[in-house]
A and B are shown apart, each in its own frame.
Chain A
Amino acid sequence: MKNPDLSNPSPANPLEKSGLKRRSFIKLLGGGIFIFFQPWNPADLLSLPADQRRSLTKEYNAFLQIAEDGTIKCFTGKIEMGQGIITSLAMMMAEELNVPYERISMVMGDTDLCPYDAGTWGSQSVQTFGPAMMAAAAEARAVLTDLASARLGVPVTEMDVKDGVVFDTKNPAKKISYGQLAKGKKIEKRVDVTPKLEDYTKFTIVGKPMMRKDSRLKVTGEAKYAGDLRLPGMVYARILRPQSHGAKLKSADVSGAEKIPGIQVVRDGDFIAVLSEDRDTVDQAVVRIKAEYTFDELPVNDTNLYDRMVGANSRVEVAESLGDMEAGAKASDKIFESEFHDPYLAHAAIETHTALANLEGDKMTVWASTQSPFGLQDSIVRELGFPVNKVRVITPFVGGGFGGKAPHQQGVEAARLAKLVKKPVMVVWSREEEFFYDTFRPAAVVRVRSGIDKARMIKLWDYRLFYGGSRGSDAIYDVPNVKRTFFEQNMDSAPIHPFGTGAWRAPSNNTNTWARETQIDIMASAAGIDPLEFRLKNLKDERMIACLKAAADKFGYVPAKSPGGRGIGVACGTDAGSWVALIAELRVDKSTGHVQVIRVACAQDMGLSVNPQGSLLQIEGCIIMSLGYALGEEVMFEGGNVRTRGFDSYLIPHFSWVPKIDAVILDRKDKPPKGGGEPAIITMGALVSNGIFDATGARLFRMPMTPERVLEALKMV
C-alpha cells in the first residue's frame, strides 16, 4: 500500500482546477476524507462522440467521501435503472475499504452533487468505472490507515482494517474507527494510478451473491420515480405533437382546449402545450387542439426499407480484410449466400419518459427519468440559455432504460414550460408519445457469403452490413479469408432512417449475432454435422469454446444433424468484453406457425462476476427480453409516421412466452470483470431461427419470426 503524503494532498488541488469550489461540493457535503478519481483512460475519451466528451475537461468523474460521522459515500453521475449497479458498485467499494456493504451509500445522477459523467450505457459501470472506484477506495483506506498510524503510534505495516475499524495487529484493542479518523478533517486526494484489479481470490464481498439494495422500497411502492414527485402548485403538461416526424406546424386552433375549465395553453413558436393541475384534464385538452401540418411524404415504410437500404448510395467502409475473398471462394467446396432483414425496435420501458421541472429564482431543477443527467443538463443549457451552474438535474429511480433514456427531450420540455409558466411542471409522456419519440434500434440488412471446404472448415467469410452498426460483427470463428464491409449513411444522401435511432441493449449485436450464427447453422447443416460440433471445430477462441461446452453440459445436449425434428438451436457470441453460448429447445405449431421456446441453457464468461446474484438476474432478463425481438417486436411505419404506438401492436414478451432458464456463470476470478447487462441478449434470433429449422426444415431470414412468417417459410419446405 502506498504511503500518502498528507501535507500535499494532490499535485494540483483538484478543487481549484475543476471548478469544484465554485460548485461548492464540499460546502454541501461537510468535512471528511475525499478521494477523487477518473475511470477513463484519456485515450479512450478521444473515441467518444464530441457531445459526450465534456469529461475531457475534468480531472475526475467521481469521488468517495468518508464523512465525519463515518458514513461512506460514492458520488457518481451514473444512474440505477434496474441493472443493479447500486448494489455491485457498493460491493466493490465495501471490499476495498473493508467495511460492511450496508454502510456504503451510492449518490447517483445528481448534477449538483456528482461530478460529470457522460451517461450510463454500454456495460461500462462495472468493467471501467468499478476498478477505478476500487483504486480510489484503496487510496482512501491508505489515507485512513496512515491517520490511524499517527494517532495510535503504530507503524502502518502493523495495522489492519476490519469492518471500518483500523487496529494494531499485535494488540487489537488498540483501534480507531474510520469515522473517528475523519472527524474534523478535510483531506482531498486524487487517484492517478491506472486501476488494476488484482488478487481477486482474496475478495470477501466481491464475487459473492448479494441481494439487491432496493427491493424493499420497490415492493412497497415507496421507491420514487420521477413521476412520483410532487411540488406545491405543480401542473401536468401535454404537448401538441405532429402526426409524423419531419412535419412542420402550419396552423393551430387552441380555442377548443382553452374552453376547458382549469386549462392553461402555452404557445412558444411551434411549441404548444396545455397545462392543468389535473392529468385527465390535459389529456382531454390536448386532443381538442386543431392543428394542421405540412410534411413531405417519404417513400419508405416497414416493407420496402430493406431494398432501399441495399440500393442507397451509401458510404462504404471495409472494416476488416483478412486473406483474400477469391482465394477463399476457390478453397471452398460449398458456398452459401444469405440476406437477413432486421426491423426497427422500440425500447418500450414500462416507465415512459418523465420529468418534473421547477424554476426557483434563477435556478432550474429537473428530476428526470434519464440515463444521462449531465446530457440533459447540457441540453437545457444549450436550448434554453441557462448557465450550467444554474441547472441541476436529479435522477430518481429510473423505470427501465435499455438505451432509450439516453435521449432526454422530456426534461428539456418540462424545463422550457417551467421557465414559461413559473410553476413546477410535470411532463409524463403518454405511451403513444413514448413510441413516437423513441430512438429506435436501427433496422438493418446483412448479406453474408461464406464457404466451407471438404474438411468442413470455413474458408470464406464475406460479411456486408447495411446500416446496422458494427458491434458484434466479428467473424469470431477461425477463418483465413474474412472481409467485413459496412454500408453507412452517406452525408450527401437522403437520410435512410425517417426518425431517430439509437442504442438498444447490446447495440447492433442482436442483428449481427443473429446473421452470423444463422449462417453458421446453414453451413453446419449442409456439411451434415451437428451444429455444436461444427462450431467447436471452427473455433480457436478458448473462452468461446469453454462457454459452448458449458452450455451443452447445462442443457444435456445430445449431438445430432439438423434438421433433426427436435427444435434445438445453438448460438454463441461476444459482447461488452464477455462471451456467451446458449442452447434452446422450442416447439413449432405447424398449423398456426406459433413458436414456443421451452427451455434455454446459457453459459456466460464475464471475467470476475462482482455480484453473481445480480449477474444471474441480468442474464435471465437478457434472455427474456430477447424473446421479444425474435418473436414479436417490430415498429411499423409509413414515412415519418410511426404506426406502432401501443402494447397492443408492439408485442413485448409476456409470461406465457417465457422458457425455463438454466444459466451458469463460468467462474473466472482470474480475469477482470466485463459487461454483464447485455451479452446474453444477443443470441435469441439465431436460437429461434436455428431451432425452427431443426424442428421443421424451414429457414427464416426476417425478424421477428411471427406466426405468419413461420407459416410462409413452412410453405417453402
Chain B
Amino acid sequence: MEQKISFTLNGKKTEIQVDPAATLLWVLRNKLGLTGTKFGCGTGFCGACTVLINKEAVRSCQLSVSDVAGKEIITIEGLGRNGKLHPVQQAFVDHEALQCGYCTPGMIMTATGLLLSNPSPTRQEIIDGLDGNLCRCGAHVRIVDAVETAAKSMKGGK
C-alpha cells in the first residue's frame, strides 16, 4: 500500500506518495526524475547507483524508500551549487577521469562520501574507499588522481 514518505532531497523538503517497499533507485529515477543515479547491477556489486544518505555513500539499489524516511538524500544532481561544479565533479573534469561516463555519478558520490568522513585520505585510503565501485573503461588511475585533487581543493575552503 502506498503511503506518504518525506525526506530532504538535494536540499529540498520532499514528500511523495509511494509504496514504502519501492527500491530507492527506481523511485529516484522514475518518480523523482533524477536519472543521474544509474542502474548497473541491482545487487549492490557495481556502485553505479550510489547516493549520499545523511552524508554517507550508500547503494540506492539496496534500499527501500522507507529506509530514507526523514533522512537527507543527495544525488549527483544535488552536488553542484548555482551552476558551479562541486570540487569532486570539477576534479573529474580536470583529470578526464571518465570515458563512457556511466559509472561516473556513482564514483563521484562514493568519493564525496569518502571525503566527508575522511577529508585527508592517503592514496591507499582512496583506493580502498572506491574498491567496491566498478569502472569497465579503465579510468581508475585518473579517478584516484581526481579524488586526491578534490581533497586538496576542499581543504582550501572550496
**Chain A interface (Cβ within 8 Å of chain B)?**
81-84, 211-212, 214-225, 227-228, 230, 277-280, 283, 348-352, 397-402, 428, 430-431, 613, 617, 620-625, 646-648, 652-656, 658, 660-661
Contacts and interface: CB of A to CB of B under 8 A. Distances in A.
A351 B138 contact: no
B85 A219 contact: yes
Given A350-B46, A656-B127, A219 B137 contact: no
**Max count, chain A CB within 10 A of own CB: residue among B46, B101, B132, B134:** B101
Most B CB within 10 A of own CB, among A84, A217, A351: A351
Contacts of A81: 100
13 contacts: A216-B85, A219-B85, A279-B26, A350-B46, A399-B102, A401-B100, A428-B39, A617-B142, A621-B138, A622-B138, A652-B136, A655-B130, A655-B144
Given A215-B93, A220-B77, A658-B140, 12 more contacts: A219-B76, A219-B89, A219-B93, A221-B76, A279-B26, A279-B30, A280-B21, A350-B134, A401-B100, A617-B142, A621-B139, A656-B128
Instruction: Pick the 8 closest A-B CB pairs, nearest first.
Output: A221-B36, A82-B100, A399-B102, A624-B138, A218-B101, A621-B138, A82-B99, A228-B35
Among A82, A398, A661, which residue has the most Cβ atoms of chain B within 10 A?
A82
A222 B36 contact: yes
Contact of A654 (B39, B48, B131): B131
A214 B101 contact: yes
Contacts of A656: 127-128, 131
Interface of B: 19, 21-23, 26, 29-30, 33-43, 45-46, 48, 75-77, 79-80, 85, 89-90, 92-93, 96, 98-105, 108, 127-128, 130-144
Given A624-B141, A656-B127, A227 B39 contact: yes
- Looking at B19, B93, B143, the one whose CB has the most chain A CB atoms below 10 A away is B93
Contacts of B19: 280
Among A212, A219, A222, chain B packs the most CB atoms within 10 A around the CB of A219
Q: Which of A215, A280, A617, A624 has the most chain B CB atoms inside 10 A of its CB?
A: A215
A427 to B, nearest CB: 12
A313 to B, nearest CB: 37
A218 B136 CA distance: 15
Contact of A280 (B22, B90, B138): B22
B77 A655 contact: no
Nearest to A625: B138
Contact of B141 (A280, A349, A661): A661
A647 B33 contact: no
Given A221-B105, A228-B35, A278-B26, A398 B134 contact: no
Contacts of A653: 138, 140
A655 B121 CA distance: 15
A398 B128 contact: no
Which among B102, B127, B128 has the greatest number of chain A C-beta atoms within 10 A? Answer: B102
A216 B104 CA distance: 11
Contacts of B139: 617, 620-621, 624
Please report whether the interface of chain A is mostly helix, strand, loop or mixed according to DSSP.
loop
Nearest to B93: A215
Contacts of A620: 138-139, 141-142
Contacts of A660: 141
Contact of A398 (B36, B100, B138): B100
A217 B144 CA distance: 20
Contacts of A222: 36
A700 B103 CA distance: 33
B40 A431 contact: yes
B98 A219 contact: yes
B7 to A, nearest CB: 18
A654 B105 CA distance: 17
A211 B99 CA distance: 11
In the complex, which of the residues A212, A218, A348 has the most CB atoms of chain B within 10 Å of its own CB atom?
A218
Nearest to B26: A279
Nearest to B48: A350
B85 A220 contact: yes
B153 to A, nearest CB: 15
B105 A431 contact: no
Nearest to A284: B21
B109 to A, nearest CB: 10
Contacts of A646: 41, 43, 45
A201 B76 CA distance: 42
B96 A212 contact: yes
B30 A278 contact: yes
A253 B34 CA distance: 36
A219 B144 CA distance: 15
Nearest to B79: A220
B89 to A, nearest CB: 4
Contacts of A428: 39
B5 to A, nearest CB: 15
A653 to B, nearest CB: 7
A655 B43 contact: no
Contacts of B42: 283, 430-431
B141 A658 contact: yes
B138 A400 contact: no
A396 to B, nearest CB: 11
Given A212-B96, A351-B40, A431-B43, A221 B136 contact: no
Contacts of B141: 620, 624, 658, 660-661
